[in-house]
Amino acid sequence: MVTMLADPAAVREVVGSFASKLKPEAVLIEASTIGPDAVREVAGLLPEGVTLVDAPVMGSVDRAAAGELSLFVGGDADDVMPLLEVFGSVNRTGAVGTGAALKLVMINAVVNGVALIGEALALADALGLPEEQVKQSMAASPLAGIAGRAFAEGAYFPVRLAAKDVALAADAAELPIARAIHARLTAYPDATNEDIGQIVKYFRT
């Protein structure tokens, strides 16, 4: 069984509704982005003999459709590796919860990076630089990867989920930049359901 839900509360509610019905030797693959503490809470809901594998993913709908997601997999996943590999590349991270931990690190870096691309373009606007010139310079620099995500077409990771992930990261450590970016992400109600890349235009207004 695989769960991939929006936030820790949803995962606890859904798993709690069926956990008691799982048979020994069943495997629950938890693919939501909920952080390691919530993953361990979910593990505590499962009957003895049921295995929890945490396997959050990196990648939007375009990479999902192509089977090119990146999975961060914690726990005893040997029996479910053939299934996990259908979705993309698998990075075995260690014990249960380590996949969730690495996902928070990675998604926080991506979301914060996209926001900073938006701020960089706002600076370029203020300095009178042509947008295309700035984009080309970014593409030829160490910023290429994150700029590519900021300007990607066909990708969809809504701002509301990005804000949730940044909040999870900021609750796990002292991250003043993440907290500042979370405040910006939640400051634009119209952006809630847009792809995270669209936040760039709000930063420039």
The dihedral of CA 8, 10, 13, 14: what is its sign?
negative
Q: How many domains does the chain have?
A: 2
What pLDDT was estimated at residue 62? 86
φ and ψ of 104, to 5 deg? -60, -40
Closest CA to 35 of 87, 74, 66: 74
Task: Specify whether 26 is located in the same domain as 94.
Answer: yes
Residue finishing a domain among 82, 98, 114: 98
Mark whether 180 and 106 lie in a shared domain. Answer: yes
Whole-prediction pTM: 0.94
Beta carbons of 101 and 76 less than 8 angstroms apart: no
The last residue of a domain, from among 80, 98, 116: 98
User: Rounded mean pLDDT of the chain?
Assistant: 96
C-alpha dist (Å) from residue 176 to 106, 123, 143? 17, 21, 22
Using CA atoms, how far apart are residues 67 and 195, in angstroms rounded to an integer? 20
Asked if 18 and 106 sit in the same domain, the reply is: no
Instruction: Give the end of a domain, one of 98, 113, 143.
Output: 98
Domain that residue 78 falls in: 2-98
Query: Which residues fall within 8 angstroms of residue 116, CB to CB, at 6 or more apart?
Result: 146
Question: Same structural domain for residues 151 and 67?
Answer: no
* pLDDT tens readout for residues 90-144: 999 999 999 999 999 999 999 999 999 999 999 999 999 999 999 999 999 999 9
In the prediction, which pLDDT does 154 show? 86
Instruction: Taking residues 45-71, report their average pLDDT.
Output: 94
Q: What is the CATH number of the domain that holds 30?
A: 3.40.50.720
Residue 68 has pLDDT above 90, yes or no: yes
